[in-house]
A and B are shown apart, each in its own frame.
Chain A
Amino acid sequence: MTINEIQEEIIEEFAAFDEWMDKYSYLIEIGNDLEGFKDEWRLEQNLIEGCQSKVWVHAELQDDKIIYSADSDAIITKGIIALLIRVLSGRTPDEILNSELNFVEEIGLKDHLSPTRSNGLLAMMKQMRLYAVAFKAKLG
């Protein structure tokens, strides 16, 4: 599936929720299920400190594709992280750099990416792109 196909899939999934409460329950569920962030990655250099919640991001290259892992101390933030990872992890740097992420807005969570929320998510998205730029340069 392409990045856009996954975005569409997520938008459809969220369209099934009539109530905002169901949407957030789902975020809590996938936030709780998000695993794979190793303790050894929980370093100052991987930390994006929002005023409200903390986010850690780690990225590595496997077969020319970027594998992202991330974590947060807040579960709703973590739920949105899980969605971002689902969309962007396992892609080549070019795919990531050419992508246009619209799903967060489409599923009505745009608020969470506003700088005023200060939950670290906006900075995390920038960081994910920066990793793509860096790995692209490395691959030559």
Chain B
Amino acid sequence: MAINIEQIRADFPILQETVYGKPLVYLDNAATTHKPQQVIDAVSEVYLKYNSNIHRGVHHLSNVCTQAHEEARIKVQQFINAQHSHEVIFTRGTTESINLLASSFADTFLNAGDEILVSQLEHHSNIVPWQLLEKKKGVILKYIPINQAGELILDNIDELINDRTKLVAVAHISNALGTVNPIKTIIQQAHSKNIPVMIDGAQAVQHVKVDVQELDCDFYVFSGHKLYAPTGIGVLYGKEEWLNKLEPYHGGGEMIKTVSFEGTTFNELPFKFEAGTPDFSGSVGLGAAIDYVNNIGIDVIAQYEHELLSYATQQLSSIPNIRFFGTAAEKASVISFLIGEIHPFDIGTMLDRMGIAVRTGHHCAQPLMQYYNIPGTLRASFAIYNTKEEIDKLTEATERIAQLFG
């Protein structure tokens, strides 16, 4: 099925904005995506019609709001094909999901000398929470190395996943390079040794079909705001058996069954991990975003974005001295590059003046930049509303800027 790009662009009001008097060309979607009117309306409707604190009201609005929040949970469940809706924990985003898991997992399962395995291309949010455990618990962080193309090298995976490994935590798709990692192989390898796996899906759920049962991952985390949903809402999916084994992360209201000064019993899943008033307008927005994506079809989105990526790679290749970072055989929606030795900040600054928004810098993946020995890259990342015309503008502008630097 072909997509109606005009219709899709019309759904996103912000795309009509101008930057320095020029039409906005937004190619920073790996950082955050824009929101369609349908999502904006769903969030507005919460405040216009049924805002009320959830799960504890006897009154009508509270019930309506609770229902909307729980319907959103079911939409997430179906979107990632989780077995149960109570396996979907709402968080503030990927970062909080990983911190929650790191903290709760460490409480029960980690001791000095235990190893956590990540990869060399992780975002800082899947490095630092584990590093904090190095200090707190004496846990050791190991990583799967990459090759020049930005692909994980699995040759020594048997040694990397060993008796001391307690958890494997890897990105589904690299935020800086766009590499689609062989997570299924990694999950199988880890499971053959009874080691659980967490997949960071922050860069994946908006681009490819995710089926957590088919992947058989034990945890899967992602953010709403990169999936056309509002900021401040995210998801920690966990298999029921694992979530039941973990201690709560935050304490407070909602997550308890009974409280006395002598002791507290905790509520069941998913509420055990959702202390305090949850972001119910965010969850409703996330539900609307999932509806939006489902209406177009994630497979249709994947195919269209793949066309954009191929086109961008081909067009940008014509620029003299371009250096691509991340040339993996399997990639999604991200193109990272430099022109000769020109600093990415210089090109990014000038692209901005031309109305073109890209990300410059280390993309919160400094170990990866250290591997390539570069200060950072320019990163263009695509979403469903981008067009080939926008890629042409990026190519022409980059070439023109590069000429100024001689």
Contacts and interface: CB of A to CB of B under 8 A. Distances in A.
Interface stretch (B201-209, B277-285, B342-350): B342-350
Contacts of A119: 345
A2 interface: no
Interface residues of A, number: 15
B404 A28 contact: yes
A51 B349 contact: no
Contact of B345 (A20, A24, A25, A77): A77
Nearest to B364: A51
Interface in B246-301: none
Interface residues of B, number: 15
Contacts of A20: 20, 353
A138 B353 CA distance: 44
Contacts of B345: 52-53, 74, 76-77, 119
Interface in B350-406: 350, 353, 360-361, 375-376, 404-405
Interface in A50-88: 51-54, 73-77
Contacts of A53: 343, 345, 375
Interface in B300-349: 342-343, 345-346, 348-349
B404 A74 contact: no
Nearest to A119: B345
Contacts of B343: 53, 73-75
Contacts of B361: 51-52
A74 B346 contact: yes
Given A51-B361, A52-B361, A76 B346 contact: yes
A51 B362 CA distance: 9
A26 to B, nearest CB: 10
Contacts of A73: 343, 375
Interface string A30-55: 00000000000000000000011110
A52 B360 contact: yes
Interface string A11-34: 000000000110011001000000
B400 to A, nearest CB: 8
Nearest to B400: A21
Nearest to A52: B345
A28 B360 contact: no
Nearest to B362: A51
Contacts of A21: 350, 353, 404
Contacts of B376: 52
Nearest to A23: B353
A25 B404 contact: yes
Contacts of B20: 20
Contacts of A51: 361
Nearest to B350: A24
A121 to B, nearest CB: 11
Contacts of A54: 375
Nearest to B20: A20
9 contacts: A21-B404, A24-B349, A52-B345, A52-B348, A53-B343, A53-B345, A75-B342, A75-B346, A77-B345
Interface of B: 20, 342-343, 345-346, 348-350, 353, 360-361, 375-376, 404-405
What are the 10 closest A-B residue pairs judged by CB atoms, nearest first? Answer: A74-B343, A74-B345, A52-B345, A53-B345, A76-B346, A74-B346, A75-B346, A76-B349, A52-B361, A20-B353
